[in-house]
Structures are given as C-alpha cells and as structure tokens.
Amino acid sequence: MNLYSDGKIIARTRFPSPNPKVELTVITYLSHGLKVKGMLAEPIGGGKYDGFLYLRGGIKNVGKVRPARVAQFAAEGFIVFAPYYRGNQGGEGNEDFGGEDREDAFAAFLVLKSMPRVGEIHIFGFSRGGVMALLTGIEFPEAASVVTWGGVSDMSLTYMERNDLRRMMKRVIGGTPQKYPERYQDRTPLYQLEKLTAPVLIIHGVMDENVSVEHAYRLERRLKALEKPAECWYFHEFTHYFPPAVNRRVVEDLSKWMKSQRKR
C-alpha cells in the first residue's frame, strides 16, 4: 500500500441488479488521494472467481459504465470491477483521457487484488479503455491477460481521425500532437509494450469508424515485433458496436479465452 492508500475501499452502496444471480455494489475507493467511484459485480454465492477489471471508453457521460454490461461479464463467472474514473458520478477530480486518470485504473486493479474471493485478475478495455487496459497491464505484470475490444492504441491517431474529439483532446491534453508529441506518446501504450508480460487478445470490427481498425493493426504489429503473445479476432462486417447476438457470443468466447490464461 503506497502513500495514498491506492485501492483502499472507503464506502459501499448496494445497487439494483438486472440479473438475479449477480449482486451490484457502487464502491468508493482511493486513487492518488482522490475518492473515486466504480461498480462491482459479483456472482451471488460463495466460492472464488477470477477478477475482471472493466475499463470503459469515452469521457464523462459518453461511454458510462452500464450495470447490465458489468453484470453480463459477472454472469460468465467473474468478479467484475468497473471504475467510473475521477470526476464522474460523484467522484473527485477531473477525468483526463488516459493521463493521470490511469491511476484510477491502477487503483481499481488493487481493489480487485484486495478481495479474498478473487484469484487471477484479467484486464478488459473497450474503445478509449483499450489504452487504459494496456497501460494497466504494463503497470501490473501479475495480470493474467489483457483484452482490448474496439480499443484505442495510439492517441495521436485518435486526434487525427476524430475531428469531433479534437477540441476536447486539445483542452484535456493541453495541445495538439504536433505541438506536444510527448504528451500524446505518454498516453500511447505502443511505446511501452516491452514491459508487458500478459497475453493480449485484440477484438476489432474492421468497419469501425469510432476507433479505426488501424489501432488494432498497430498494436498487433508492435506486439508481434516484440514477440509478445497476442491473438486477434477481426470482424470484417462490423463497426464499433456488434449486433446483440454476436456481442453475446463474443463475450462468451473472450471469457473462455481469459480463463485459459493463467499466471499462477
């Protein structure tokens, strides 16, 4: 436990669950001196389960943690914790798109690690959460696996692709990638993958216009160049969001893949 008691749980509040076999709790925990909130989803009953760190995409009210989604993964046999990130839903501080708010993901990993019922811990990131997942996997070599679904891997590429996000990114990051390349590189895990030890599963819709498949290709190329274990599931007919039936099947498949990855 560090100076800031990162990962210390300071409050729990029950939350209505959409699944009778899954219990939901809103957790308030410490992240670098800030009180941050997140949602915990646990299968009802005793026993030990793998941990599942769910790292959402978007920023602020875009891409908020959805109770039904975290309950869906818990129903696959995981104890799931999904941080809201700082400044959201009553949490302190300000979210900054993969900057200091990565500490909220790191502290959330420690929340799961502190739970007696949690065995292996897997990391999952969707969209912007892909950056958070990779950075967290780099920070914690004991992570059993990392999954990035429709995930950002290069912040400069996001700036170039998304005209609608440029104003927000300039404000939050403090400028453009042309003027401050080091700030964007700091938020780009491609430059730090030498430190990653967990196997990575990349899931991406080739028709994705929110996060282009080039993010997945760049991540795949870098991992393979470093001879890191990586598996890729590309879906040529889909965009950022998969049809419900396909989504359910992919959730089942990635859950099985995760459980096949063991560190201990």
Tokens of 90: 């009553």
> Please, is 262 exposed, middle or buried when counting C-beta atoms within 10 Å of its C-beta (0-12, 13-18, 19+)?
exposed
Catalytic-role residue among 17, 31, 127, 156: 127
Alpha carbons 29 and 221: distance in angstroms, whole number: 36
Q: CA 16 to CA 26: how far, in whole Å?
A: 10
Instruction: Give 242-248's long-range contacts (Cβ < 8 A, gap of 24+).
Output: 242/205, 248/72
Catalytic residue list contains 122: no
Please name the residue that has the structure tokens 């818990």.
74
Neighbours of 4 (CB within 10 A): 14
User: Which of the 8 DSSP states describes residue 191?
Assistant: G
CB-count exposure of residue 215 (10 Å: 0-12, 13-18, 19+): buried
131: its two tokens: 């950056």
Give yes or no: 127 in active site: yes
DSSP string, 1-63: --TT-TT-EEEEEEE--SSTTEEEEEEEEEETTEEEEEEEEEESSSS-EEEEEEE--SBTTBT
Rounded Cα distance between 188 and 177, Å, is: 11
Catalytic machinery residues: 127, 240
